[in-house]
Structure 1
Amino acid sequence: MLDQNNHQGKFGADYIRVLASAAGLIWSQDDVDLDAVDLCLKLPGRTPRGFSPRIDVQVKTVRKLDVSDGLINYSRLSYAQFNKLAGTDFTVPRYLFVVHVPPSIALYADLSTYGLLLRHIGYYVSLSDQPPLPTSDPNRHIRVKIPLSNVLTAESLRSLVVGNVVLPIG
């Protein structure tokens, strides 16, 4: 059985995979994590944005949200991780996804006659407007602010992939 931290991280990535599937996206994963990219999400085929647009994402999880003034204060991103997400010099847009998970693994999912419920909710932020930090010290962490309104849904996830072009799901 997985320890709680690995279980939590796997659930967060699987949460994103489920949303990607609901959005009609496909996902892939590099065989080695060198670029702080956990998942690549792509819409196959031609779109107004081009052929098979995609985004790269780093997925983090948290058991308790630190919220103030309509913003989530996520403070567990290392300088090195931040620098692999910040700035504009990426060919493929990059996002930080933070999935709020229950404190107990027994509460991650629930099944009823209405369907499967995944708990709790995911959020996203682009750090492209932030300059990389002068150091990549992996022992230092930075606080990233994520608007509570940046909720990950099938629709918002699809919108991130195709840019500002609105394509209906289904």
Structure 2
Amino acid sequence: MNANLQKEEFQYACVSAMAAHAGLNRGDFRVDEDSVDVSFKGLGYGGHGRRRNPIIEFQLKCSSQDLIKGDVIKFELKVKNYNELRGDDVMVPKYLVLMLVPEDRKTWIGGDDNWLHLPHSCYWLSLRDYPPTKNQTSVVVDVPLAQRVTTDTLLAMMSAASAGASL
């Protein structure tokens, strides 16, 4: 497997593990036509003014480049992905989820007899309110280091989706 596919599969496994921990059901599309690599569905969440069984969708990106500048990750996103992730005219909230890993794959995972250790975090960005771009090939977006994907973040995203919003 080439390095880019390894990064993609590693990130997919990490995000899926967090979603399983949060009690979310994973959905996979065989073809990525609209910048969605994976979706998650939460059961319940009903109540007055809320939607039952909300869904969130992720575009996954993994990089070993040094992209951190201050308190953000400066990530170059293809215009196609930018346009498909932005806007508030979607039924399901979409998020860009970015993972940074070192070039040395030996450091991606660790552990012992009691723990599996995944020492690298994912970060999220909603492009829902981003403006159209005149760029032809790519757009650099700032992904805040404070927006780390955790089990609690996934549950908050589900709760927001149930209310018809995104984080």
Bigger shift: residues 98-107 or 26-35: 98-107
Residue 84 of structure 1 aligns to a residue whose secondary structure is helix
Any gaps of 5 or more consecutive residues in structure 2?
163-167
1:6 aligns with 2:11: no
Partner of 2:64: 63
Q: Note if contact 1:86-1:128 (Cα within 8 Å) is conserved in structure 2.
A: yes
Q: CA deviation at 1:94?
A: 0.5
Q: CA deviation at 1:132?
A: 3.0
Any gaps of 5 or more consecutive residues in structure 1?
166-170
Superposed, which structure 2 residues align to 1:21-100 within 5 Å? 21-48=20-47, 49-75=50-76, 77-100=77-100
Q: Note if contact 1:25-1:44 (Cα within 8 Å) is conserved in structure 2.
A: yes
- TM-score, length-normalised on structure 2? 0.88
Superposed, which structure 2 residues align to 1:63-142 within 5 Å? 63-75=64-76, 77-134=77-134, 137=136, 140-142=137-139
Q: RMSD between aligned alpha carbons?
A: 1.8
Aligned residue pair count: 160
Identity within the alignment, %: 28
The one-letter amino acid of 1:52's match is N
Larger proportion of strand = 1
Q: Distance in 2 between matches of 1:21 and 1:64?
A: 28
Q: Distance in 2 between matches of 1:106 and 1:71?
A: 26
Q: Distance in 2 between matches of 1:128 and 1:25?
A: 22
